[in-house]
Structure formats: structure tokens, C-alpha cells
Amino acid sequence: MHFKNIFVILFLTGTVFNFVVNELLEYIDYRHRVKVGCKVPKELFGYMDSKLLKKTCEYENEKYFLFIPRHIAGFILTLVLVFSGFYVMLFNRLFYNLENIYLALIIFFLLASLPASILSLPFELYGEFCIEKKFGFSKMSIKMWILDEIKSLIIGLIISIPLLFIAIFLLLHVSSCWWILLGIVYVGFSLLLSCVYPIWIAPLFNKFSPIEDRILKSRLESLLKKTGFESKGIFMMDASKRSLHSNAYFTGFGKNKRVVLYDTLMQQLSVDEIESVLGHELGHYMHHHIIKRMCVMIPVVFVLLFAISHLIEIPDLYRGFGFSPETSVTVLENDAVVETVLPYIQFIGIFLLNLVFEGFGIIASFFMNLFSRRDEFQADRYSAEICGNSRSLETALIKLNKENLSEVTPPKVYSMIYYNHPPLLERLRALSSFNKKE
């Protein structure tokens, strides 16, 4: 390790920054719960009591106390893997023992992520089978959990290996414009995956069946028709076989769009409330939130790949972390010497850049969540408009918050960083303000 190397400095800065910010925000949230977490806000009088809020605080505290060792262990592991030269050793072993460069690089990427996955296993097991079961959410069995993990692993490999192969091929054979082609492949693959997911992937984990309640089905189909939303149907998902947490969502793309309601949601809410929840989801569709987000993210993908294409040619990126890259030297007309890393190792550069800038991801998350919360407020207003009033959505949000034991009054700074949905009270106040204007 070369600690004066700019890339190493950025790595250390980002890693420590991410660790400190996350620890500080979680502690602020914890202290806030201790201070006011059991106090019932005036907007929720008659809906919640201090006993329920106490249980919510206990649930959140259990997750916080699990977060502390998990986060510290992850932080230490990241530093150990980098400072010990683990990644250099792994690459050298694979590169010099395997004759196929594609196989060596793909196995490197898969094995490089293995230590973090192994470390997370005991924490995931404790969270699922101790915390979630303690508070009556988890219905998982060990067998079901293992099968889910195996399915997820296989699906992940099926998705990631072809993308890795294509990326390596483009780097080796289309070095001048590989980033453009890879961006096109990535965007196309993402769109294809969104079409395939509801048909082939989601059914591997859950059963999806048509809604049998005729009144509810009629109400929801009328709402879809009213907004001109075309889908493959409205389905109930057997979420309760794993967890009692509830949700509703749209899935798919184009003609493969589906409306999915958790069976737990249907048990917890009235017909009017379910209709208002669907109205909220339709609000995202009618305001083109998904399309707008794609219009932002697709250019960002190409800009990032363009930046990466230049950064991975810098030898100091590799030398700073202990790699010894083969380079080519070009002498320019003004006698300046330009040293460029050869294509076969530039793929490792992508991995190193992820290490370098991963710690700053919380900044990007802040802005993404900022726009996401704005979209949620807009979708809430649409639900109130299409359903004729906001009362059903308000009571639905309160019930969902209660059933999921979600925090009612998180600190503002905490929700601004972490929440992609506004906290309950902010949504209720926004709906109340909307009603007054109407």
C-alpha cells in the first residue's frame, strides 16, 4: 500500500467517512427514540398508544444493536482485505494458474465478494430468526431460508456472469469505445430483466394468484380502467409464508406490468384503504416517475462509464493497492511520456474504483432519496384526487406503519439520509394540507 497515492487516500477517506456518518446517524436515531420514541403525536391520538410505540422502539433498538457489531466488522474486514494484499494475492494466483483470462477475471470478481458474504451470514441469521421472530414477523424455517439463499445465488450468477463476460470481451477487443457498448448492453439488460422478473424470477420465491374477493377486484379494476393503466392483472402474493410485513407494488415493464398485493396487506386493510394504496401506486405511473428516473439514470450510467474508461488507464490506481500492472509507453510530440495500463488488467481497475468510491455512495443516496420522497408526496396527492378524498390513504398509512412497527418520528437528519419514503407524520401532514387547499 502506498499511503500517499491519491486513490488510496480517497479510499481511506471514503471508507472512514462512510463508517463515521452511518454510526453517528444511527446513534442520533437511537438517542431520539430513547427521548421521544414512546410519545404519541397529536395526529395519531386514537390510532396508536404508548404501548405500541414502546414495542416499535424495542424493535428498532434490537436492529440497532445488531447494526453496531455488523457495521464495525464490515469496516474492519474492508481494511484488512485491502491492507493485507488479499486482492493482489487472489488476482496473481488466478492469473498465473489459469490459462483463460475470462475465467480468471470472472472467478476473481466472484471470490472477491465472498469474504463479505460469509461475514454477513451470522448477522442475517440472527436478524431473521431472533429479532424478526421475536417480534412476530418472521415465518421462515431454516430450510426455506437456505433454499432462498441458494435460489438467489443461482439467479445472481446467471445474471452477473454473462455481464462480466461481455465487459471483459469489450475491454479486450473494443478498447476505444467499450464503455459506450457496455452502457448499451447494461441498459438493455436491465430493461429485459424488468420484463422477465415477474414471469420467471418472482414465482421462484412466491406464489401469485388472482384476487378472489369480487368486490375488491371490481373496485381495483375500475380504478385501473379509470386511469388507463394496462396490466397483466392484479395478483395476491403469499408473502405471509415468510413474513408478516406488508406491501404493494407494480412490477414488470411494458405489457408485462402487474399489480401485486401482499396477502398480509389484504388482511390488514379495508377495501377503501387498499384502493387508496393502489391509487398511490398509480400516481407513480401517471406522473411517469419510473420513466423520469430512467431518463436521469441512463445518462448517469454512460457518464460514469466514460469516467471509468479514463481512470482505469492510470497506472497509479493499481500500484497504490499493490498491483504491478503491465503498461505501454507512448512518447508525445512535446516529449511527454504517457503510460497506459494494458487492457487485460483494466478490468481489475473497475473493481478498484468501486473500492475507492464506495464510501461516498451515501452522498448519492441522499440525492436519490430526496427525489424519491418528492415522488411519494406526489403519488399521495394523486391517490387523494383519484379516490375522491385522502381519508382512506391516511388510515391505510397509519395501519401499515403500525403493522410494520415503523418509526413514527425519526430525526429529520436521519430520514433525509436514509428514507426513500417520507416518514408517516410528514405524509399525513402533507395530505391534510392538500385537503385544506381543496
Which residues are known to be catalytic? Answer: 281, 380
372, 420 Cβ separation under 8 angstroms: yes
Helix (H, G, I), strand (E, B) or coil at 208: strand
* Alpha carbon distances (Å) from 136 to 224, 236, 266, 317: 34, 22, 18, 49
Number of Cβ within 10 Å of residue 154's Cβ equals 11
* Alpha carbon distances (Å) from 324 to 89, 252, 315, 357: 11, 45, 9, 21
* Alpha carbon distances (Å) from 437 to 381, 430, 434: 12, 11, 5
DSSP secondary structure letters along 32-60? HHHHHTTSPPGGGBTTB-HHHHHHHHHHH
Helix and strand element counts for the chain (H, E): 18, 6
* Alpha carbon distances (Å) from 260 to 24, 173, 233, 377, 393: 37, 43, 9, 21, 18
Helix (H, G, I), strand (E, B) or coil at 243: strand
386, 225 Cβ separation under 8 angstroms: no
Number of Cβ within 10 Å of residue 59's Cβ equals 20
Burial per residue of 18-53, b for 16 or more beta-carbon CB atoms within 10 angstroms, e otherwise = bbeebeebbeebbebbeeebbebeebbeeebeeebb
